[in-house]
A and B are shown apart, each in its own frame.
Chain A
Amino acid sequence: MKRRKVIGLFLLALGFLIVGCNPEAGADERKEQEVIVFAAASLAEAFTEIANQFEIEHPGSTVVLNFAGSQQLTHQLSQGAPADVFASANKQQMDAAIETGRVMEGSQQPFVRNQLVVVYPASNPGKLQNLTDLAQPGLRLIVAAPEVPAGQYAQSFLSAAGQNDSFGPTFRNGVLDNIVSYEENVRAVLSKIALGEADGGIVYISDLNGQAARQVGSLAIPGELTMVADYPIAPVNNSDENDFALSFIEFVLSNQGQEILQSFGFLPVRSSQ
């Protein structure tokens, strides 16, 4: 008898556990006005503000935000994570999401642009005056890993500069020799520059707001050398609230949404604005 009791109690606990963890049960409890947005880490501040404004414009709505590296978000989508909107930091990850079938081909559209910028600690220990100084021997530079979008853009900047007369052919290798770390995300680059751990680094212009911006100086990279990063946004398939997902995307593309993005350092996607 005792044994049965133990097993019974145990099965009961297991039952609760299964019911509690069942994703379907969770989905039923989702509020009608909820929209789940998967957005690239670099959008964190801007999308938090956009979500606030959206909730004011659409009373009763709740925006649930999930920020991570774009590639991680794509992995989560491919594993079936519930989502209504996907905003990626580059085309590759949006394409990967389309490949998994979670995003419909053709439904994606660019909503914002970003650019790279060279940053250095406010005290400028490497005495950086212009971009060519980055190749000076003995400097310590950090960039994002080539696996993440910001790192890819940094690599293509170096290649483009190497073919440019004002930098010369030795520029690219000179810079690569100075790199001491390939960080796993672009915000880590900024934090370590702000701490003064390296003489220079490459981040997005949009990263230069908030507290870190006051601790670093920056050198602009000419537009012809840095591939402008277009961020695509799209509704996620098999979301039962697609209408609402679409109105969120509409809001991001509206004048109000674009203004918020610009106030966080992003560049508008439409030339008319």
Chain B
Amino acid sequence: MRTKQDNEQSNRHRPVKQATSIWRDPWWISSLPFLLFLAIPLVAMLLSISPGQLIENLSKPQVRQAITISLKTTTITTLLTIIFGTPVAYILARRQFPMRRAIDTLIDLPIVLPPAVAGVALLITFGRQGVIGGWLSDQGIHIAFTQIAVIMAQTFVAAPFYVKAATIGFAAVDAEIEQAAAIDGAGTWQSFRHVTVPLAWAAMLSGAVMTWARALGEFGATILFAGNYLGRTQTMPLAIYIGFELDLDVALTLAAILVVLSFLVLFVVKGILQRELYAVGR
């Protein structure tokens, strides 16, 4: 008797075992429309281009340049986000201060704002007539219409995903463990490097990947702030939008690559994280 009860209790929070076919499960049936709504357009787009066409389009310099620029800028964006976003995530998780909620909200803002707003704001600030851009321009430094502008636009829009995830990760680490390390003589960096990061890496990784994926898809802020120049600022989303107006094949090829790449990366990282969570659960 007792064993049975224990089993029931421990099963409470686990997914219910699937006894019947999904076609008889009302939850499954009512989930289908939403799943199909997401899947059908993406699959239809992938099917609309033949593998032969895809490979042929891949040899076009315009397509290659767009892919190269996208991979280069999103990698730099993600690294910069980790470097500059980690301290912010840490103070949000560990420090109590008067403006905490305001800063937390500030970090939410780029997620909900239209990227075009980010683009206009960056242009007004770092453009030639801008508060900071005007001064830089006097020094002979131009940011707008360069790859630096692409990276800034991506960072502005995508960094909050990492900061939010890392904040949750750091907050989940018991502060007493860090204090114990400090008592044992670990410095700020040592304690962070050897105690906090090993315990919070899963959250940091999933945040960094979300930032990378969001940066890869960034369009609105980029086209406003960095403009569109083949081989310099034309990322994949820009090439898709411009290509839609002239060369639909190029647009479809890049769109297909973007969908497959994003799916694979998110899928693999989810697998890693799930294994990590399972290990922790045990």
In the complex, the chain B residue whose C-beta lies closest to that of A4 is B26
A179: chain B residues within 8 A (beta carbon)? 229
Q: Does B230 contact A (CB under 8 A)?
A: yes
Q: How large is the interface on A (under 10, 10 to 19, 20 to 34, 35 or more residues)?
A: 20 to 34
Known contacts A10-B29, A140-B145; is-contact A184 B241 (Cβ 8 Å): yes
Cross-chain contact of A148 among B33, B224, B245 (Cβ < 8 A): B245
Nearest Cβ in chain A — how far from B252, in angstroms? 13
Nearest Cβ in chain B — how far from A147, in angstroms? 4
A contact set with B: CB distance below 8 Å = 2-3, 6-7, 10, 14, 69, 71-72, 75, 125, 140, 142, 145-148, 179-184, 188, 192, 195-198
Known contacts A6-B26, A195-B123, A197-B144; is-contact A180 B229 (Cβ 8 Å): yes
Nearest Cβ in chain B — how far from A187, in angstroms? 12
A78 to B140, CA, bound (A): 48
Q: Does B30 contact A (CB under 8 A)?
A: yes
Nearest Cβ in chain B — how far from A33, in angstroms? 34
B127 touching A195, Cβ below 8 Å: yes
Q: Is the interface of B mostly helix, strand, loop or mixed?
A: helix
- Among B223, B227, B233, B241: residue with most chain A CB under 10 A: B227
Known contacts A10-B29, A14-B33, A72-B245; is-contact A182 B129 (Cβ 8 Å): no
A142 to B30, CA, bound (A): 51
A-B contact pairs, 8 of them (CB 8 A): A7-B26, A72-B245, A140-B142, A142-B145, A183-B227, A192-B227, A195-B123, A196-B127
A6 touching B30, Cβ below 8 Å: yes
B123: chain A residues within 8 A (beta carbon)? 192, 195, 197
A71 to B245, CA, bound (A): 6
A145 to B233, CA, bound (A): 13
Known contacts A148-B245, A181-B227; is-contact A197 B128 (Cβ 8 Å): yes
